[in-house]
């Protein structure tokens, strides 16, 4: 017999309900109103916000409570009024925001921020394993939180939606940034990224045939640049050639071919997807020395250690420096340059996820039923479930599948 469940969360059984209602109520999944806290990340050089005012409206209309710290959306040009008019509670108290059932923010949790948590909550943010310290992790464990990492969540197709989204933004933005620093605007050599009639087009080298590399290549080709892409996978290179046509030159990481290409390159984009805790330099400092004066390097993998030896992990407020005559741009959170676009994209991903948590009656049932979200969990009720973190800090990690099988 089918149960009919409305938005209010009440269950009705129709005219054929002859069995005791209590038996049905025990097996039904009740909607549970949850509170969602959104802290202010602006002070941490992070301009993105995980939920837009429109997303807040959808969650509030479904009987959830959203508490936003004052000024949280300003980096993406959303005012407190935008949020309050869509049903959010604006609070100037961090303790109020961090005491919500689920706390979601973009920047990784800092040690100070963990002090505000009341415990036994769900927290969601970027994890950034390389930047996480043992004291912060220890506090999260003692607070018995269940923690979900943005960059580890998968969708129904097995893809990582947040990673793919930010890769798209990074790929396109990297070409726009390179164009800016090649021009005279910031003291560049005054070259237009692309080409015009009678003038040799600029050369762009991209490391990595992935989503970021594809978006960067499309943007550069669209402006008229000559693009050379390097990767260690022939199938990926072949796919790129089919997607982007003959204006794209492809090569495996052959040292002599790469060195020759670097000598004439105007822009170098590092888009390699590095594994956690395993940075690898595809471009050495000696290779950078051979590049033209005034050329531009942008390392999109800098948040994981970088794939170019001369790049440094910089804040967005001070992302540029010069080394060996080459301009380097290496902000760890490049998508914050287009914070509103990035925020809308994040909101599209996390609004249904948060509502699914409420509909499921809590995080445990959601983790049990959704393998993609389960893949993003690195703490469950204070127990470490991420093997890479366990290796980094010497802590034994537990199998999340086994932990939730008891429920």
Complete domains list, the chain, with CATH: 4-159+339-404 (3.40.50.720), 164-332 (3.40.50.720)
State the average pLDDT for the chain: 89
Long-range contacts of 359-365 (CB under 8 A, 24+ apart): 359/29, 359/31, 360/29, 361/29, 361/30, 361/31, 361/32, 362/32, 363/102, 363/122, 363/146, 364/404, 364/407, 365/29, 365/407
- Least confident among 34-43, 90-99, 241-250: 241-250
pTM attached to this predicted model? 0.86
Kindly indicate the confidence band of residue 276, based on its pLDDT and cuts at 50, 70 and 90: low
How much is the pLDDT for 32? 59
Q: How do residues 307-351 score in pLDDT, each as one tens digit?
A: 999 999 888 888 999 999 999 999 988 999 999 999 999 999 999
With H, G, I as helix, E, B as strand and everything else as coil, classify residue 114.
helix
Question: Distance between CA atoms of 96 and 93, rounded to whole angstroms?
Answer: 5
Kindly indicate the confidence band of residue 186, based on its pLDDT and cuts at 50, 70 and 90: confident
Instruction: Tell me what percent of the residues of the chain surpass a pLDDT of 90.
Output: 74
DSSP character for 51? S
């Amino acid at each position: 017999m089918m149960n009919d469940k409305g938005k209010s969360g009440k269950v009705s059984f129709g005219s054929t309900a002859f069995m005791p209602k209590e038996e049905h109520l025990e097996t039904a999944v009740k909607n549970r109103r949850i509170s969602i806290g959104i802290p202010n990340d602006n002070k941490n050089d992070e301009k993105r916000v995980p939920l837009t005012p429109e997303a807040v409206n959808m969650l509030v209309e479904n009987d959830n409570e959203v508490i936003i710290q004052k000024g949280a959306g300003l980096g993406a040009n959303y005012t407190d009024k935008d949020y309050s008019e869509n049903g959010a509670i604006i609070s100037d108290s961090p303790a109020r925001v961090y005491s919500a059932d689920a706390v979601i923010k973009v920047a990784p949790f800092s040690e100070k921020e963990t002090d505000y948590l009341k415990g036994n909550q769900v927290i969601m943010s970027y994890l950034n394993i390389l930047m996480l310290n043992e004291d912060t992790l220890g506090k999260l464990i003692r607070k018995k939180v269940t923690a979900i990492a943005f960059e580890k969540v998968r969708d129904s197709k097995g893809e990582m939606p947040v990673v793919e989204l930010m890769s798209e933004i990074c790929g396109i933005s990297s070409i726009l940034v390179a164009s800016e620093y090649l021009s005279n605007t910031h003291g560049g050599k005054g070259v237009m990224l692309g080409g015009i009639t009678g003038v040799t087009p600029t050369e762009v080298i991209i490391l990595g045939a992935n989503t970021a590399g594809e978006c960067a290549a499309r943007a550069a080709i669209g402006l008229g640049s000559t693009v050379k892409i390097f990767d260690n996978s022939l199938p990926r290179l072949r796919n790129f050639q089919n997607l982007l046509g003959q204006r794209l030159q492809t090569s495996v990481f052959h040292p002599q071919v790469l060195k020759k290409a670097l000598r004439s390159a105007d822009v170098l984009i590092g888009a390699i997807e590095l594994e956690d805790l395993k940075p690898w330099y595809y471009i050495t400092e000696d290779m950078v020395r051979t590049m033209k004066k005034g050329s531009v390097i942008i390392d999109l993998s800098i948040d994981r250690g970088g794939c170019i030896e001369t790049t440094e992990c910089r804040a967005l407020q001070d992302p540029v420096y010069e080394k060996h005559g080459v301009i380097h741009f290496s902000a760890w959170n490049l998508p914050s340059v287009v914070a509103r676009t990035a925020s809308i994209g994040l909101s599209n991903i996390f609004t249904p996820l948060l509502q699914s948590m409420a509909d499921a009656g809590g995080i445990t049932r959601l983790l049990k039923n959704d393998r993609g979200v389960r893949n993003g969990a690195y703490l469950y009720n204070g127990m470490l479930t991420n093997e890479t973190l366990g290796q980094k800090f010497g802590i034994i990690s537990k199998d999340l599948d086994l932990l939730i099988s008891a429920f």
